[in-house]
Amino acid sequence: MKQHHHYDALIIGSGAAGLTMALHLSQNARVAVLSKRALKSGSTWLAQGGIAAVLDTTDSTQAHMQDTMSAGGNLSHPDAVEFTVSHGKESIEWLIQQGVHFTQDSDDYHLTKEGGHSHRRIIHSADATGKALQSTLIERAIASPNIDLYEDHIAVDLITRRKLGLAHNRCVGAYILNEKTGHVEVFQAPHVVLATGGASKAYLYTSNSDGATGDGIAMAWRAGCRVGNMEFNQFHPTCLYHPQAKSFLITEAVRGEGGKLILPNGKPFMHKFDKRGELAPRDIVARAIDHEMKRLGCDCLFLDISHKPAEFVRSHFPTIYKRCLKLGIDITKEPIPVVPAAHYTCGGIVTDEKGRTDIAGLYAIGETSFTGLHGANRLASNSLLECLVYAKSASQDVFNSLTTPLDESIIPAWDETQVTDSDEDVIISHNWDEIRRFMWDYVGIVRTDKRLQRAKHRIDLLHQEISEYYSHYKISNDLLELRNLAVVADLIIRSAMLRQESRGLHYTLDYPDLGPEALDTILTPINFAWN
C-alpha cells in the first residue's frame, strides 16, 4: 500500500465545496479529494431546500444583499455579500451545465421562498437539492482523469514547514488515516484545501451527518490560523421529532409554501414573536419554538401543511412525505412533530474572497470557512451558494500559482512506535457524549454567563483527558473526531464569552440588547493555543 502521495492540490472534504473546486482545478492539475466516509455521507447530500440566487426579473442583487445583511444582524461583510450574491446566477448556470436537474414550473425553473427572503429566489430539485447536486458532481469527478477520490480517509493534521522546523512557513500536505488499512499516510501537495464542513455535531441534537465534527477548523487552528465568529451556531427550527428519525430535517420551504407552526393544542404562535410569522429568520423561529417548548414543558411542537391540497404536498415535498409516512405520519392529513437542532456553523477559518487562510498554500471553503458572508445568522439557502462561489474563486487563485513547485522537504512518516492499542474506548464514547450534552445545555439557543463558565470548566478538564489519551494510544476515526470536537467546542465557548450582547444566533439573558457596534469575534492561536 502506497504510504506517500503527491498531488498538485489536496482537497480534504467531498461535499459541494470540495467537489466543485476539484472539477474546476482538474482542467490543469492533478487533484486528490478525500472523504472521511462515503462520498455521499456529508451535509451536502442531506440539503433539502435549494440554492439562493437572483434568477427572476422581479428580483435584484441589491434585494438579495439586503436580505442577507438583515438576517446576518448587520454583521455580514458588505464586500463578501456582494461578491457572493453577484456570482449567484453564473454558479447556477455552471451546475446546469454539469447536468444538475432543477425543478421546473411550466417553461421555467420553479423558485420557492424561504425565511428572511423578500423574493422567490430558491432554485431547487424538489426537496432533495443536495442529493441532486452532489450525485451529479460525484459522477463528473469520477469521470475526470485528473481527480482521484479517496473514501474512508480522515485527516489527522496539516503538515507545515514550521512543524518540520523549516523557514518560510507554508502548508505542504497532511497526515491522513486510511481507515481501510488502519495506517496513516502522507499526502503532499503545494496547495491544500479544507472543505470539511461545519461542527454541529458538537451539539446533542443536530440535523447534520455524523461527520460534522469541525475537523478542518480544529486542524487549521492547531496549525496557526485565526478563526472568526464561532459563537454563531445556527439551530434549524424544524427537525423531525421521532425516535427513529435521526438527523432528518424538515426544509424551510415547507413554511415557505404555507406551512404553519402550531402548539400541541393546534394554535399558531409565531405571530406573537415576529410580524413575518413562519417566514422570520431562523434564529427568531428557533428561539420562539424553544421558548414555547420550555413554557409548556413539552417535547416538541408541530409544523402543519395539511391544509394544502394533498397532491401539492406530495409533489413539492416527496422526500419528506415518504420519510414521514414510513414513520406513520401522513403530512397531507396531520401536522409534523418538530424540534430545533444544531444545523450550521456560521463562523470558521478566517479567509479572504479567494479562500486563502493565514498560512500560504492553505485554503478553506464552504462551511468550514469564515468569509464574512453570514454575519450573525446565515440566510436560508445561502450556504450552497457560498460553496460554489468560493470554490471557483479559490480554484482560480490556485491556477495562478500552479507553478509553485512541490516542496522537496522530507516529510517524516507517521510514528506509531510510542503508542499502543487502546483497551479503554469507553473513554471516547463517554467524553463525546458529555461534550454534546453540556454544549446543548449551556451553549445552546439561549445562553448565560454562568452556563458558559460551566461549559468552559468542563471543556478544560476534558481537553486534558483527551490530550493524554491521544498521546498514548493509536488513533482512530472516533478519537480524531473527539479531539477535534473538543477544540471546536472550546472555540465556540470562548467566542460566546467574549460577545457581551445579543445578536443573531448568539442570544444571552445577561446581555439581551445589541451592542453599540457590530464587531467580529476573532481568535488567534498565539493567545488561545491548544497545540
- Whether 323 sits among the annotated catalytic residues: the reply is no
Q: Which of 304, 272, 310 is nearest to 291 (CA)?
A: 272
Across the beta sheet with 191-194, the strand order is: 147-150, 31-34, 9-12, 191-194, 362-364
Residue 314: how many other CB atoms lie within 10 Å: 15
Q: How far is CA 147 from the centre of its chain?
A: 24
Q: By three-state DSSP, how is residue 420 classified?
A: strand
Report d(CA 466, CA 472) in Å as an integer: 10
**How many H-runs (helices) and E-runs (strands) does the chain carry?**
15, 22
Rounded Cα gap, residues 133 and 124, in angstroms: 10
Rounded CA separation 190/396 (Å): 15
Residue 419 CB: number of other CB atoms within 10 A? 13
Give the dihedral sign, CA 370/373/378/383.
negative
Q: How far apart are CA 218 and CA 229, in angstroms?
A: 14
Three-point CA angle 100, 84, 485, nearest 5°: 85
Neighbours of 276 (CB within 10 A): 14
Identify the helix (H) or strand (E) that includes residue 61.
helix 61-71
* Residue 37: φ, ψ to 5°: -135, -150
Residue 482: closest CA among 436, 442, 444:
436
Phi, psi of 92, rounded to the nearest 5 degrees: -65, -40
Nearest to 493 by CA among 529, 464, 452: 452
Across the strands, what pairs with 342?
A: 206, 235
Exposure string of 466-479, with b = 16+ CB inside 10 Å and e = fewer, is beebeeebebbbeb
The CA distance from 19 to 487, in Å, is: 26
Amino acid found at 437: R
Residue 314 C-alpha cell reads as 406530495
Pairing of strands 362-364, 191-194: parallel
Which residue among the candidates 226, 282, 436, 458 is catalytic per the annotation?
A: 282
Terminal Cα-to-Cα distance of the chain (whole angstroms): 31
| Residues annotated as part of the active site | 282
